[in-house]
């Protein structure tokens, strides 16, 4: 255990949230709503049912012969995509000292801006601005015309305050102040109609003690340096071609297209 995060609950959480995909290489079988430990709210299972009825927009996975694989790598945890979720997963895995690979199709980490949303963080509660999480979940569901996966929103509602505390400590090390933006204007969210605008916005600004180099870096670039200091690096130019599964459907690996063939 480190900072309240165990390897076990990190891997479970990572599967739900990270990047394009985060795969614990011990394998993860596809779960039904009832197996997935959901809170079994009616709307939640309806949301899952709608999702499973949606045709696969990626189409068929390509056939790739073993003779086409030019290199094989072993790892305990595979994180696919060095975006917001992937870099957060990588930094957490680095904190835990896990054996992991983070693979990214592009030649750099994904861009990030200077804000993120976190629900009921300490500063918000201290300011007496507690977010109504049921209302928030319903408003988001309405925005997505009932087609979103409410389990994903629930993870954010339940866990983003913890994420914020963790992210704030990292940004602080790089010389940034992370601030809660409690002023939500006129509550119309920029769209001119009366709507619920929850106080969830957090922004960060470089302090005077932030080095020039770090002041010019985006959050994911800072996280890349953070994992680099712990001995890890992003594996670039690895474009996920297909996931490798066993007979039960459990994901055991992934095949990437690289400039030099399949890995
Ligand atoms: C214009 C714009 C402005 C936004 N502004 C904000 C903001 O101010 N605050 C905020 O909180 N959110 C903002 N968002 C939303 C935020 O960017 C996304 O919610 C967030 O990036 C999603 O994180 P992610 O990790 O799921 O995806 P991404 O950050 O998009 O990361 C996915 C990564 O996976 C990689 N990838 C994709 N396919 C493959 C593959 N086959 N193999 C390997 N790698 C692959 C991509 O290259 C990318 O690096 C904004 C979004 C947009 C488009």
236 in Cβ contact with 104 (< 8 Å): yes
Tell me how far the alpha carbon of residue 65 lies from the centroid of ligand 1, in angstroms.
31
Tell me how far the alpha carbon of residue 21 lies from the centroid of ligand 1, in angstroms.
13
How high is the pLDDT of residue 61? 87
Looking from the CA of residue 239, the nearest atom of ligand 1 is 42
Q: What is the pLDDT of residues 42-88, one digit of tens each?
A: 666 666 666 666 677 778 889 999 999 999 999 999 999 999 999 99
Give ligand 1 pocket residues (Cβ under 6 A). Answer: 19-20, 80-86, 103-106, 110, 113, 115-117, 239-240
Residues of the chain with pLDDT under 50: 1-3, 12-19, 21, 26-40
Q: What is the pLDDT of residues 128-141, one digit of tens each?
A: 999 999 999 998 99
pTM for this entry? 0.83
């Amino acid at each position: 255990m480190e900072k309240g995060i165990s390897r076990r609950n990190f891997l479970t959480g990572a599967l739900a949230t990270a990047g394009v995909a985060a795969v614990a290489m011990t394998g993860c079988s596809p779960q039904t709503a009832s197996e997935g430990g959901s809170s079994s709210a009616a709307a939640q299972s309806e949301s899952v049912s709608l999702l499973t009825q949606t045709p696969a927009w990626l189409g068929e996975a390509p056939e790739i012969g073993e003779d086409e694989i030019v290199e094989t790598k072993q790892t305990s945890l595979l994180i696919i995509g060095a975006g917001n979720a992937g870099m957060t997963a990588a930094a957490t895995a680095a904190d835990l000292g896990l054996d992991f690979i983070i693979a990214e199709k592009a030649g750099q980490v994904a861009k990030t801006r200077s804000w993120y949303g976190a629900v009921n963080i300490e500063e918000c509660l201290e300011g007496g601005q507690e977010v109504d999480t049921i209302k928030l979940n319903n408003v988001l569901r309405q925005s997505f015309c009932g087609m979103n996966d409410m389990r994903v929103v629930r993870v954010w509602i339940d866990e983003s305050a913890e994420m914020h505390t963790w992210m704030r400590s990292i940004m602080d090390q790089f010389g940034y102040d992370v601030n809660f933006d409690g002023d939500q204007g006129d509550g119309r969210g920029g769209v001119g109609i009366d709507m619920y605008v929850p106080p969830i916005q957090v922004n960060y600004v470089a302090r005077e003690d932030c080095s020039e180099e770090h002041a010019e870096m985006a959050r994911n670039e800072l996280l890349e340096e953070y994992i680099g200091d712990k001995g890890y690096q992003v594996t670039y130019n690895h474009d996920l071609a297909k996931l490798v599964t066993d007979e039960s459907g459990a994901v055991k690996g992934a095949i990437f297209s690289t400039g030099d063939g399949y890995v």
